[in-house]
Structure 1
Amino acid sequence: MKKFLLFLAGLTAFIVLLANLGPMVFLGLGIWLLYVIFKQFMKTDSTAGKIGWVIVGLIVLSITISNMFALIGVVAAVALYMIYKSWKKETDGPVVHHIEEDDPFTNFERQWAELNK
């Protein structure tokens, strides 16, 4: 049942990620453009050039802020990664056979696995 719920959560996170893929690309592009504009602003010596870069920066900033809901896609990507790690952790667990003896050396692996859960 837990695997089925993990599958449903992963499917939901994947659909949300795909739905927000375009805004995520535009958000990344906008952040990169803001970085380039800032570097050009710092290189420019003239006042008119600096005013021009500020105006262009404000336009790109407004476009970038309009794509802020793309952070939902980033959260979905992180959730998908966490679900994947949880899925892999369950399958890579130690294989321990239950032995009905009371010998502490024989049951050590079983007890250690129970403590680590």
Structure 2
Amino acid sequence: MKKFGLFIVGLIALFLLLANVGPLISLAICLAILYFGFKQFMKSESTGAKIAWGSVSIIVLIVSISHIPAILGLVAAYVLYLVYKKWNENDESASSKESDPFSNFEREWKELNKN
């Protein structure tokens, strides 16, 4: 039942992520332009250049704030990662207990040595 719940949560997160691919890409582009504009603002010497790069940076910041659905996409990607991690964690713990022939022997040997 736990795997079914993880599957459903992962499926919902995948659909959310796929629905928000466009805003994620545009947010990445806006943040790259904002980074470039800020670097140019810091490097510029003249007042006119600082005003121009500052204006560009502020406009791009306002545009990037409008990509709120991209935050949902990032959260969905993180949830998908957590589901994947949890899914593999359950497989590894179950298979390691069953596949290790010496764990039973070691446990029984400790029980025999106690007596």
State the TM bucket, normalised to the shorter chain: 0.7 to 0.9
* Aligned-partner SS, 1:95: helix
Percent identity, please.
Answer: 44
| Structure 1 stretches of at least 4 aligned residues deviating more than 2 Å after TM superposition | 94-97
Distance 1:45 1:79 in 2: 45
**Aligned residue in 1 for 2:38:** 38
Distance 2:91 2:41 in 1: 53
**Alignment TM-score, normalising by the size of structure 1:** 0.79
Distance 1:4 1:68 in 2: 30
* Aligned-partner SS, 2:108: coil
For 1:1-117, what aligned pairs fall within 5 Å after superposition?
Answer: 1-93=1-93, 94-96=96-98, 105-106=107-108
Distance 1:95 1:54 in 2: 60
Distance 1:92 1:86 in 2: 10
* Higher helix fraction (1 or 2): 2
Runs of 5+ consecutive residues of structure 2 not aligned to the other structure: 100-105, 111-115
**Alignment TM-score, normalising by the size of structure 2:** 0.80
RMSD: 1.9
